[in-house]
Structure 1
Amino acid sequence: MTILQALDGYYQRLSQRGEVSAAGWSPEKFGWCIILGKNGEPIDVQNLHDMSDKKPKSKLYRVPASFPRPGVTPRAFFLWDKTAFSLGVTKPESGTGWQHADKQHEAFRTLHFARLAGQNDEGLVALHLFLEKWRPERFDEAPFGPDMLDANIMFRLDGELNYLHERPAARALVDRGPNEETKGEDVFCLITGERGAVARLHPTIKNVEGAQSSGAALVSFNLDAFTSLGKGQGDNAPTSEAAAFRYGAALNQMLIRGGPNRVRRPIGDATVVFWADASKSTVAEAADSFFADAMDPDTLEDAARYELAGLMAAVAKGRTLASLRPDIAEGTRFHVLGLSPNAARLSVRYWMSDDIELFAGRLARHYADMTILPEPLGWGGAPSVNRLLARSTALQEKYENIPPVLAGEVMRAILSGGCYPRSLLAAAVIRLRAGDDPLSGWHVAVIRAVLSRDHHKGLLQEDVPMSLAPDEPNKAYQLGRLFAVLETAQRMALGKLNATIRDRYFGAASATPARVFPLLLRGVQNHLGKLRKDGKGGWIEREIENILDKLSLDLPRALPLTEQGRFAIGYYHQRKEQFKGRPAEAAALDASETSEEGTEE
């Protein structure tokens, strides 16, 4: 099933529940309404903004449908529009005040004089009279103000609660549509397989992060390079106007900010929407809710996050989603769409369509692959993909610094169950070499996931331990453990330091151990001597000896990227677990680091 076919089907579900606009209507943001007298005189301006927050926000209203307005010839919307069209005034390119928008206003007047001709509804008559009398210079007078410039404007008759576009006579005009001569030629629609008027221009898609605020096109043919066999615009991929409207209305509904079918924050540069196909709306809503929680658990309370983690663990062990969530029926089809901005267009970063059971299994496998003990700081049972990427791959751990291509590849790997991109491993290792703290645990969780997934897929012979494994045969893992013990010896002997061996040598030790470890092993003898004099740290010498027994004398001259990852995992495990059963020494070390002055080796 194609993206547009799935969206067309989803429109039917939304339409049955009254959650989407009918043909000829669309949700638009408004902040102002002009109240007209029956004689067409403007009496007042109504502020429609949502004032519940500190900053006023425009509110959504269903009005006669908007449409793309490419080119230089202005085309007006029916019964509403921006001030440039409805009032003939717009913001100047520089300075204050306003400037004329004569071409746009004339287009608005021409459209309404034609479509309102012969109407006797008093609201529509009032709008006709208003357009006959209105002069842009009146914008300087009350009740108009500069805050209205370039905002969407609707109209209402004085003394009534309904807006002009809600009046029965106005609805009849909208439902009738424009004149027949503006309709396109009947075509065989590639979405529905039925014949209908061709959509020359496809609907504008709004609220994709990073795209133009006025909206962008998911389907468009506006250059010769995009045309085929001399066909122009929508003739290249014939789609009926009805089907184009339906897929656009469904997608725009899901993209509303804060909606239940949208991941709250973009993943990389991709705005992600999702929806289920089910005969019962309750089943579809349950599937949508489950996937929303699984993709963005950061929005959940702590108890709900750990409950989700438990459910995922059960699925990873072989339980079916239907047995754990009876409200989600077996065989429920599910769709995931990631959209990225690309100038005036949208790019499909990924499109996945499969059984919800399979998606649940892949998400559970993802959580299982990411599991490392002890848990990373602030792990919270089930971290979102966004938080995982920000903490392990982004500069300064900022969401906007997540590499967009990497985020798209990771999402594809998670949703398809394929291997994680090797660039994810590289990004995590690079961040550690750049100075990120490996003890946060986020980087090693990502590294373990990449290596573990490759092992399950048969690309790596050795698996990766989840927790400290003293007998692990892998040399890079043991070198990471050794590095952690050497650092601990330094810290116990010298107390608080401005720069430990981790700060100085972590990257070099993980990449070229043969060059670095001889130097570190010579230096640790001084630390061990000081510890012996103080009568402590005997276990450190034994730990070093045990690890060295598992290493041959010929240390690797260089470690490949996968082995650098194992080095980081070994270091994390050793540092986190080496004081297990030694609470007094751990407390003493923490106290010395906070009380003593810093010194360098």
Structure 2
Amino acid sequence: MTLLSSLNRIGERMEQRGALPTGGFSSEKISCCISLNADGSVAGLHDLRDVSKKKPVPRVMGVPQAVKRTAGVKPNFLWDKTSYVLGVTAGNGKRLAQEHEAFVDRHLTALAGSNDIGLHALLLFLQNWRPEHYEALGWPEELKDQNVVFALEDERHRLFLHDRPAAKALWARLAADDSGESAICLVTGERAPVARLHPSIKGVWGAQSSGASLVSFNLDAFTSYGHEQGANAPVSEAVAARYTAVLNAFLARDSGHRVQIGDASTVFWADASDAELAEQAESVFGSFLSSVDEDKQSRAVGDILEKVRQGERIATFNPALSDKVRFYVLGLAPNAARLSVRFYLEDTFGALIDHYQRFLDDIRVEPGPRQKVPQLWQYLRETAALGKEENISPLLAGNWMRSILTGTPYPQTLFATVLMRIRADGEINALRVGILKALLLRNFNRQNEEVPVAFDPDNDNKGYLLGRLFAVYERVQSAALGDKLNSTIRDKYYGAASAQPRRVFPALAKGAVPHLSRLGKDSPGYRVNLEKDIGEIMGRMSPGADPFPVTLSSAEQALFALGYYHQRFFKKSDTEQKDAAS
């Protein structure tokens, strides 16, 4: 199923259960309502926003489909921002008079002859309204430039003008009159009026606040056989309105269907005959990708998460959730006034979770990170300069997400990026080491025995052994000098030691001699332990060969980091420590 087809399908189901406005309407943020008397006089201006939060939040409601504004002046029907509806704005308003005149002219024409009491009241209001009335009525400055709807005063608590049957019938006739040429819709296969311009999609991080287009044709080079704009890829007006409404709903804050991964605003949804099963799949998937308060999770979702993280295949304990739910994941990134599709994936929910479990196995190291289950964005932040999210490579996040959910090799650029960050700042933590381990297993076809999860004293890989040895030399230095250290050998030599061991390790071995001698006076037992560690590691080097090779390959540099991490943070049991000291 194509992207637009799947969005159209889920949109139809959302319309059936009232989660989306029906055809010809779109969900928009509305801040206030002007209530009118039957004679068109103003009864009041009412704030519809939710003011319980730090910043007032507009109410989202279904209104007649918003027009597509580029450079021209185009009013909406029965609602709009105050510059159009009332002729007032908080800014300069260079086109203010033109915008207000366009709104009035459209409605005077459309509402002429209407017998509906509400529509007639709006007609009378527009005939008598003057922009200076706003100040005279003492209406608040903060509501300027907000979206406005209308209602009759005695109906405003239950019915807005645009929801009146007469208004809906009038809007349907107007929309039909404005319809473009008919063609076969590429999504449904049915002949219907084609959308010349598709509605804007809002909520994509980094895109224009007014919205951006997923489907558009703005240059002659993109056209075919003389067709203009949307006729080049005919999608019916109903489908265009529906798929954009779905995306706008999913991209909304706190929708439960979105998560930010690098520059990719990622939305996901499930499709199943059992709506409860689909919602459960969405909750589980959302919990994997973003931090969710465990207290707010249902017990069923929490149990599924725990079993999956423990390695149980979802098909074994919940076959219906695994096989009867079709799951979709879409990553959108900004591209000027348009949107780029970073990735689009669809599969059974069970297959996606299986791939995600494999990723968890690939990236697991011991000791693990402080956070029990780090989120993907936390791993990505380890690839960025200064640990800032804005420095994450734009393409990296999407490519990595795609590989995780499809079980394909991870992006090779991830490998070079992590090694570069370690050499640059010397920070070696569970997240970075986990990434390197995952890449070694999947991209370099290394075996689990060679790339261990936890400390492996029997591992003879030269990169792993040298990483362990470097960690022991660092421990020798810090034990001998303590607080007198301004910088450790890791700060000075890690990059060179992991890439060209022969240049660095002889000097490290020589420098460790006086440190061990000093420890022999202060902590003789600790000195014995460290010397045993050095001897054990050196004893595993290839006999008769130079223990310090000239260079290490990139894969061996990753094993160097893994060996260093395991040796540096491995904690022996009390019994082992006593045996080593005796």
From 415, 418, 429, the equivalent of 2:419 is 429
Say if 1:89 and 1:99, in contact at 8 Å, map to a contact too: no
The DSSP-based 3-state class of the residue aligned with 2:568 is: helix
Structure 2 equivalent of residue 598 of structure 1? none
Within 5 Å, give how 1:17-166 maps onto structure 2: 17-72=17-72, 74-93=73-92, 101-160=96-155, 161=157, 162-166=159-163
Structure 2 equivalent of residue 260 of structure 1? 256
The DSSP-based 3-state class of the residue aligned with 1:553 is: coil
Letter aligned with residue 175 of structure 2: P
RMSD: 2.3
1:223 aligns with 2:219: yes
- Cα 1:436–1:299 change in 2 (3 A) is farther
Structure 1 equivalent of residue 165 of structure 2? 168
1:468 aligns with 2:462: no
- For the residues of structure 2 that align with 1:379 and 1:572, how far apart are their CA atoms? 17
Instruction: Give, in angstroms, the shift of residue 179 of structure 1.
Output: 5.0
- For the residues of structure 2 that align with 1:557 and 1:372, how far apart are their CA atoms? 28
Structure 2 equivalent of residue 531 of structure 1? 519
From 466, 475, 479, the equivalent of 2:466 is 479
Instruction: Give, in angstroms, the shift of residue 578 of structure 1.
Output: 5.0
From 321, 325, 330, the equivalent of 2:323 is 330
1:566 aligns with 2:559: yes
Structure 2 equivalent of residue 596 of structure 1? none
Structure 2 equivalent of residue 237 of structure 1? 233
Say if 1:34 and 1:44, in contact at 8 Å, map to a contact too: yes
Instruction: Give, in angstroms, the shift of residue 301 of structure 1.
Output: 5.5
The 10-residue stretch of structure 1 (355-364 or 420-429) with the greater mean CA deviation from structure 2: 420-429
From 497, 504, 508, the equivalent of 1:516 is 504
Structure 2 equivalent of residue 287 of structure 1? 281
1:501 aligns with 2:500: no
Say if 1:206 and 1:213, in contact at 8 Å, map to a contact too: yes
Say if 1:90 and 1:99, in contact at 8 Å, map to a contact too: no
Say if 1:79 and 1:164, in contact at 8 Å, map to a contact too: yes
From 420, 427, 430, the equivalent of 1:441 is 430
Instruction: Give, in angstroms, the shift of residue 329 of structure 1.
Output: 5.2
For 1:381-413, what per-residue CA distance to the aligned partner results, in whole angstroms no more than 9, with x for missing partners? x222112212x2123333333222111111011
Letter aligned with residue 282 of structure 2: D
Letter aligned with residue 430 of structure 2: G
Say if 2:30 and 2:146, in contact at 8 Å, map to a contact too: yes
Say if 1:480 and 1:571, in contact at 8 Å, map to a contact too: yes
The DSSP-based 3-state class of the residue aligned with 1:346 is: strand
Structure 2 equivalent of residue 386 of structure 1? 377
Structure 1 equivalent of residue 6 of structure 2? 6
Instruction: Give, in angstroms, the shift of residue 338 of structure 1.
Output: 0.4
Within 5 Å, give how 1:279-318 maps onto structure 2: 279-300=273-294, 310-313=306-309, 315=311
The DSSP-based 3-state class of the residue aligned with 2:168 is: helix
Letter aligned with residue 24 of structure 1: G
- For the residues of structure 2 that align with 1:280 and 1:569, how far apart are their CA atoms? 45
Say if 2:426 and 2:494, in contact at 8 Å, map to a contact too: no
For 1:410-433, what per-residue CA distance to the aligned partner results, in whole angstroms no more than 9, with x for missing partners? 101101111111211222222222
Instruction: Give, in angstroms, the shift of residue 580 of structure 1.
Output: 4.0
The DSSP-based 3-state class of the residue aligned with 1:393 is: coil
Structure 1 equivalent of residue 356 of structure 2? 363
The 10-residue stretch of structure 1 (347-356 or 131-140) with the greater mean CA deviation from structure 2: 131-140
Letter aligned with residue 181 of structure 2: E
With normalisation by structure 2, the TM-score equals 0.92
From 277, 288, 291, the equivalent of 2:271 is 277
The 10-residue stretch of structure 1 (133-142 or 337-346) with the greater mean CA deviation from structure 2: 133-142
The 10-residue stretch of structure 1 (417-426 or 521-530) with the greater mean CA deviation from structure 2: 417-426
The DSSP-based 3-state class of the residue aligned with 1:178 is: helix
- Cα 1:433–1:566 change in 2 (3 A) is same
Runs of 4+ aligned residues of structure 1 deviating over 6 Å after TM superposition are: 302-306, 459-462, 582-585
- For the residues of structure 2 that align with 1:50 and 1:132, how far apart are their CA atoms? 32
Say if 1:44 and 1:143, in contact at 8 Å, map to a contact too: no
- Cα 1:522–1:582 change in 2 (3 A) is farther
- For the residues of structure 2 that align with 1:357 and 1:119, how far apart are their CA atoms? 56
Say if 2:67 and 2:75, in contact at 8 Å, map to a contact too: no
- For the residues of structure 2 that align with 1:56 and 1:331, how far apart are their CA atoms? 41
- Cα 1:527–1:372 change in 2 (3 A) is same
Letter aligned with residue 74 of structure 2: R
Say if 2:180 and 2:193, in contact at 8 Å, map to a contact too: yes
Matched positions, count: 568
Say if 2:450 and 2:459, in contact at 8 Å, map to a contact too: no
- For the residues of structure 2 that align with 1:169 and 1:329, how far apart are their CA atoms? 47
Say if 1:278 and 1:333, in contact at 8 Å, map to a contact too: yes
Letter aligned with residue 394 of structure 1: A
Which runs of 5 or more structure 1 residues have no equivalent in the other structure? 586-601
- For the residues of structure 2 that align with 1:373 and 1:199, how far apart are their CA atoms? 55
Say if 2:262 and 2:394, in contact at 8 Å, map to a contact too: yes
- For the residues of structure 2 that align with 1:324 and 1:370, how far apart are their CA atoms? 24
- For the residues of structure 2 that align with 1:307 and 1:581, how far apart are their CA atoms? 35
Structure 2 equivalent of residue 397 of structure 1? 387
Instruction: Give, in angstroms, the shift of residue 486 of structure 1.
Output: 0.6
Letter aligned with residue 441 of structure 2: S
- For the residues of structure 2 that align with 1:252 and 1:101, how far apart are their CA atoms? 28
Instruction: Give, in angstroms, the shift of residue 2 of structure 1.
Output: 1.0
- For the residues of structure 1 that align with 2:537 and 2:426, how far apart are their CA atoms? 26
Instruction: Give, in angstroms, the shift of residue 16 of structure 1.
Output: 2.1
For 1:473-504, what per-residue CA distance to the aligned partner results, in whole angstroms no more than 9, with x for missing partners? 21111000000101111111111222111121
- For the residues of structure 1 that align with 2:564 and 2:296, how far apart are their CA atoms? 29
Instruction: Give, in angstroms, the shift of residue 118 of structure 1.
Output: 1.1
Which runs of 5 or more structure 2 residues have no equivalent in the other structure? none
The DSSP-based 3-state class of the residue aligned with 1:199 is: coil
Say if 1:28 and 1:61, in contact at 8 Å, map to a contact too: yes
Say if 1:48 and 1:59, in contact at 8 Å, map to a contact too: yes
Instruction: Give, in angstroms, the shift of residue 253 of structure 1.
Output: 1.9
Instruction: Give, in angstroms, the shift of residue 176 of structure 1.
Output: 3.6
Letter aligned with residue 247 of structure 1: Y
- For the residues of structure 2 that align with 1:274 and 1:19, how far apart are their CA atoms? 16
Structure 2 equivalent of residue 591 of structure 1? none
Structure 1 equivalent of residue 439 of structure 2? 450
1:178 aligns with 2:171: no
Say if 2:321 and 2:350, in contact at 8 Å, map to a contact too: no
The DSSP-based 3-state class of the residue aligned with 1:89 is: coil
Say if 2:67 and 2:74, in contact at 8 Å, map to a contact too: no
Say if 1:262 and 1:273, in contact at 8 Å, map to a contact too: yes
Say if 2:77 and 2:107, in contact at 8 Å, map to a contact too: yes
Say if 1:27 and 1:63, in contact at 8 Å, map to a contact too: yes
For 1:139-198, what per-residue CA distance to the aligned partner results, in whole angstroms no more than 9, with x for missing partners? 332233322222111112223222211222222223444352x21111011101111111
Instruction: Give, in angstroms, the shift of residue 251 of structure 1.
Output: 1.8
Structure 2 equivalent of residue 410 of structure 1? 400
- For the residues of structure 1 that align with 2:103 and 2:536, how far apart are their CA atoms? 84
Say if 1:262 and 1:274, in contact at 8 Å, map to a contact too: yes
Identity %: 44
- Cα 1:67–1:541 change in 2 (3 A) is same
- For the residues of structure 2 that align with 1:460 and 1:501, how far apart are their CA atoms? 31
With normalisation by structure 1, the TM-score equals 0.89
- For the residues of structure 2 that align with 1:68 and 1:327, how far apart are their CA atoms? 42
Letter aligned with residue 325 of structure 2: T
